[in-house]
Structure 1
Amino acid sequence: MTLLAAQNLSVRLGGTDILSGITLALEPGEIVTIVGPNGSGKSTLLRALLGLISPAKGTVTRAKSLSIGYVPQRLHIDRPMPMTARRFLSLPKRCTDAQAMDALTRCGVADAGPRQLADLSGGQLQRVLLARALLNQPDLLILDEPTQGLDQPGEAAFYTLIAEVRRDTGAAVLLVSHDLHVVMAASDRVICLNGHICCEGAPDVVREAPEYRALFGAGTQGALALYRHDHDHSHGPDTPHEHGPNCDHDHTPASAKKAAHV
């Protein structure tokens, strides 16, 4: 049973085409990571899938009674307004102390309940946001660049936590990454987006790549992977190459191409 699907989805904002021809489907229990440069439409795609904006073309379908947990890209906190993590978990739907403690403990911030949100570190706040998203026992967890602003060890720890949540709850995960070259090793699929789906494939865990070892140490296993993709088409003369200096494209014929990981 497909949880969520988009068919030939296009989105226009302010008279500008942001997304075009997006077709994808999310299946129970899988982790799908979306990568792309700034301005590629990643957050817009999430909003369209969540039903927060209407597509110009195409359709979005959701499984009946689908429960979605959402972790936003960032939470703006008004420091003068007191708000503990425990109180935040009960907004907008009240939860019991036991439920709150279970969610915070699962996310590795068991002691965060009485603390002010404004006093939490970036990593702690993201874990509290994840705990809140898990309270409704979602079938699908959607995360919009959840590690933005975290250092590399913080990213690794958060990605590992997401993989553990999928393992323990069975929830599917749709994750947007702000870094084109770093994706979850636990991903079942990686989708490269730049206004349209450029390529899609299953990532391999990087165990020997020098870049991987340089970033996370030779002993790091499975938290992150460096992802190199090969496009099956050109972006065209009017579309600049925005995928960064380490995105190693191979423009050999399509029949010889495949998604690759270094």
Structure 2
Amino acid sequence: MTTSQALISAHNISLSHHGKSVLDDVSFELKAGEFITLIGPNGAGKSSLIKVLLGLIKADSGDIKRSGDIRLGYTPQTFSPNPFIPISVIGFLNLNQKVAQNFLHE
């Protein structure tokens, strides 16, 4: 591991949902060139951790720091911009830009 600055770091992240602990004191750093794989059973908190890192949900406690030039993205397994017309992520990505924009505005 290099001594370079972390692109993203999470320290002591905790999150609960409906009174159940989802994340308990999670800490890690990701530096340039490194990969992290999240593995666990359904309900283990993998998606919740990603959403906290992206700022989509707020952790109960802990600290997240992002490098100023980092760009983060998240693609869930299922994606339905319109709940009445479900579409897979692959299907959405295969739409051309104009069709995709119209689809999202419906």
TM-score between both structures, scaled by the size of structure 1: 0.31
Residue of structure 2 equivalent to 1:4: 8
Question: What's the CA shift string for 1:83-107, capped at 9, x where partnerless?
Answer: 761127975xxxxxxxxxxxxxxxx
Residue of structure 2 equivalent to 1:13: 17
Residue of structure 2 equivalent to 1:63: 67
Residue of structure 1 equivalent to 2:96: 86
Answer yes or no: is 1:72 the counterpart of 2:72: no
Counterpart-to-counterpart distance in 1, 2:8 and 2:99: 26
Structure of greater Rg: 1
2:9 and 2:66 in contact (8 A); partners too: yes
Q: Which has the higher helix share?
A: 1
Cα distance change on mapping 1:11 and 1:69 into 2, 3 Å: same
Q: CA deviation at 1:37?
A: 1.0
Question: What's the CA shift string for 1:95-146, capped at 9, x where partnerless?
Answer: xxxxxxxxxxxxxxxxxxxxxxxxxxxxxxxxxxxxxxxxxxxxxxxxxxxx
Counterpart-to-counterpart distance in 2, 1:11 and 1:75: 24
Q: CA deviation at 1:21?
A: 0.8
Point out where structure 1 has 5 or more consecutive residues left out of the alignment.
92-262
- RMSD in angstroms over aligned alpha carbons? 2.5
The letter of the residue matching 2:95 is A
The letter of the residue matching 2:96 is R
TM-score between both structures, scaled by the size of structure 2: 0.71
Residue of structure 2 equivalent to 1:38: 42
Counterpart-to-counterpart distance in 1, 2:99 and 2:7: 25
% identical equivalent positions: 33
Counterpart-to-counterpart distance in 2, 1:22 and 1:88: 41
Counterpart-to-counterpart distance in 1, 2:25 and 2:99: 37
Q: 1:133-152 counterparts in 2 under 5 A?
A: none
The letter of the residue matching 1:85 is L
Cα distance change on mapping 1:63 and 1:38 into 2, 3 Å: same
Cα distance change on mapping 1:85 and 1:34 into 2, 3 Å: same
Structure number with the bigger relative contact order (C-alpha 8 A, sep ≥ 6) is 2
2:50 and 2:74 in contact (8 A); partners too: no
The number of equivalent residue pairs is: 89
Cα distance change on mapping 1:12 and 1:51 into 2, 3 Å: same
Counterpart-to-counterpart distance in 1, 2:99 and 2:53: 24
Q: 4+ runs of 1 displaced by more than 4 Å?
A: 88-91
Q: Which has the higher strand share?
A: 2
